[in-house]
């Protein structure tokens, strides 16, 4: 006689609990493999803040795509961020690219700094892995014939061109009062390259660069630089520096009562909402030609609110990172695969327009988006306003700025 075994309530619960687990392999098989994106940013070291902001922008894009159901043309494949820290050092950026390649990334987004982007993109080129530059000003990043590198935002060549046009227009409107300029720049590729470009282009608007002053990173005191500027009596001071030195230089010029028509920076590292908040007197009337979102775009405004509600600033690194990642997402949707060759082909033929930068549809030549353009910004005592181009300016430029004291 076989013993009769009754099925208890507990047994039924156990089977119930095991059910989903038994079904899981089937579910996993039907789920497409995630697409790994390597985020190569300097989240430690001297550039940590900017790197962290860039990473934040990329992650916002990844979260948004995943929340909306992943890459639709690939059966809802999810995006997965593989995080890297270049530690603000080019050689570490390269080793992060190599590590992420081992982890099977399908593309990279980064690097904030030109000095890191130059070798990092080269390392990725060995594997023909698409590399989307979110921030990195040097034009050498895209001018070396690397087929895998794409930059959505403009480089320093285009920024310098547009900055000179913008400066020329506001100077002309003020009666051409500015005729001389002193250029102050940090010593690496970004600052030196930008200053050289500005020096060569300024004569086209009737402004002569009377001196170029280079400084180290870090510089602890700018008094000598500012005394030199005062002795040259220029009409403009044009700066290209990273955040720390920008802040220190701006404060020293204010304290030493440097009276010029404008403090004008190109891709000024420290020109942001924090400077306006913490040093409103110093920041007021300072001008910066930089990347800026389309102020009338509702998505941009919603994202700005979302970022600020988390205690972060909506800086250019955030929306450049977001849009660079979204550009890759658009290429994935059209290529219907993460295979590198097809994605690169999709990026080359990209006409993506669902972004919130004032660029129009994308069109890449040698990896550089042709429609990209920056905006001329000016700080008020409590905010940052767009003063050029006129089609989306929120305020008229104050030029020349009022005399100090």
The least distance separating other proteins from the CB of residue 287, rounded to whole angstroms, comes to 20
Under rule CB under 8 A, residue 210 binds other proteins: no
Neighbours of 247 (CB within 10 A): 22
Query: Where in 247-286 is the site for other proteins (CB under 8 A)?
Result: 247-248, 251, 254-257, 270, 274, 278-282
- Three-state DSSP at 112 gives coil
Under rule CB under 8 A, residue 187 binds other proteins: yes
Task: Give 288's contacts (C-beta < 8 A, 6+ positions apart).
Answer: 264, 265, 266, 267, 268, 271, 376, 377, 378, 379
Under rule CB under 8 A, residue 308 binds other proteins: no
CB of 247 or CB of 324, closer to other proteins: 247
Can you tell me which of 35, 37, 40, 43 binds other proteins, judged by CB under 8 A? 43
Segment near other proteins (CB under 8 A); pick from 26-34, 158-166, 243-251, 333-341 = 243-251
Task: Give 134's contacts (C-beta < 8 A, 6+ positions apart).
Answer: 54, 57, 58, 109, 110, 111, 112, 152, 153, 317, 320, 321, 323, 324, 325
Under rule CB under 8 A, residue 403 binds other proteins: no
Under rule CB under 8 A, residue 216 binds other proteins: yes
The least distance separating other proteins from the CB of residue 367, rounded to whole angstroms, comes to 29
Give, in degrees to the nearest 5, the angle at Cα 297 between 294 and 302.
115
d(Cα 291, Cα 245) in Å, to the nearest integer? 20
Closest among 314, 250, 261 to 283, alpha carbons compared: 250
CB of 282 or CB of 338, closer to other proteins: 282
Cα torsion at 240, 241, 242, 245 (round to 10°)?
-150
Under rule CB under 8 A, residue 213 binds other proteins: yes
- Side-chain half-sphere exposure of 335, counting CA atoms within 13 A: 21
Can you tell me which of 34, 45, 360, 389 binds other proteins, judged by CB under 8 A? 45
Can you tell me which of 112, 156, 222, 316 binds other proteins, judged by CB under 8 A? 222
Task: Assess contact for 156 and 267: CB atoms under 8 A.
Answer: yes
* Cα 368 from chain centre: 15
CA-to-CA dists, residue 292 to 204, 253, 401, angstroms: 25, 25, 22
Query: Where in 66-105 is the site for other proteins (CB under 8 A)?
Result: none
d(Cα 204, Cα 131) in Å, to the nearest integer? 35
The least distance separating other proteins from the CB of residue 404, rounded to whole angstroms, comes to 10
Can you tell me which of 31, 128, 208, 224 binds other proteins, judged by CB under 8 A? 224
CB of 259 or CB of 348, closer to other proteins: 259
Segment near other proteins (CB under 8 A); pick from 12-20, 39-47, 357-365, 375-383 = 39-47
Residues within the interface to other proteins (CB under 8 A):
43-52, 187, 213-216, 218-225, 227-228, 231, 243-244, 247-248, 251, 254-257, 270, 274, 278-282, 313
């Amino acid at each position: 006689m076989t013993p009769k075994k009754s099925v208890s309530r507990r047994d039924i619960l156990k089977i119930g609990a095991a059910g989903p687990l038994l079904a899981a392999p089937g579910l996993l098989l039907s789920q497409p493999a995630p697409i790994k994106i390597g985020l190569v940013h300097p989240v430690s070291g001297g550039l940590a803040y900017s790197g962290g902001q860039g990473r934040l922008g990329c992650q916002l894009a990844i979260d948004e795509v995943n929340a909306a159901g992943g890459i639709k043309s690939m059966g809802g494949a999810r995006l997965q961020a593989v995080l890297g820290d270049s530690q603000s050092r080019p050689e570490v950026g390269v080793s992060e690219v190599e590590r992420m390649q081992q982890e099977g990334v399908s593309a990279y987004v980064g690097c904030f700094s030109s000095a890191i982007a130059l070798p990092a993109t080269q390392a990725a080129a060995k594997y023909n892995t698409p590399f989307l530059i979110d921030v990195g000003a040097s034009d050498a990043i895209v001018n070396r014939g690397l087929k895998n590198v794409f930059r959505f935002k403009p480089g320093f060549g285009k920024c310098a061109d547009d900055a000179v046009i913008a400066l020329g227009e506001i100077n002309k409107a003020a009666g051409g009062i500015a005729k001389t300029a002193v250029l102050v720049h940090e010593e690496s590729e970004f600052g030196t390259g930008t200053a050289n470009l500005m020096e060569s282009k300024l004569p086209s608007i009737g402004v002569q660069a009377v001196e170029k002053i280079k400084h180290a990173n870090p510089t602890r005191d700018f008094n000598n630089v500012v005394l030199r500027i005062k002795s040259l009596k220029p009409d403009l001071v044009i700066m290209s520096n990273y955040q720390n030195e920008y802040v220190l230089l701006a404060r020293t010029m204010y304290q030493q009562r440097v009276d010029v028509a404008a403090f004008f920076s190109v891709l000024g590292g420290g020109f942001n909402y924090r400077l306006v908040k913490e040093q409103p007197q110093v920041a007021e009337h300072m001008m910066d030609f930089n990347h800026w979102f389309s102020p009338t775009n509702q998505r941009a405004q919603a994202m700005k609110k979302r970022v600020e509600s988390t205690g972060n600033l909506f800086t250019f690194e955030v929306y450049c990172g977001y849009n660079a990642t979204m550009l890759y997402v658009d290429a994935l949707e059209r290529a219907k695969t993460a295979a590198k060759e097809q994605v690169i082909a999709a990026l080359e033929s990209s006409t993506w327009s669902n972004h919130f930068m004032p660029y129009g549809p994308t069109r890449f030549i040698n990896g550089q988006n042709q429609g990209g353009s920056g905006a001329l910004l000016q700080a008020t005592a409590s905010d940052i306003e767009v003063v050029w181009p006129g089609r989306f300016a929120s305020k008229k430029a104050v030029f020349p700025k009022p005399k100090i004291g």
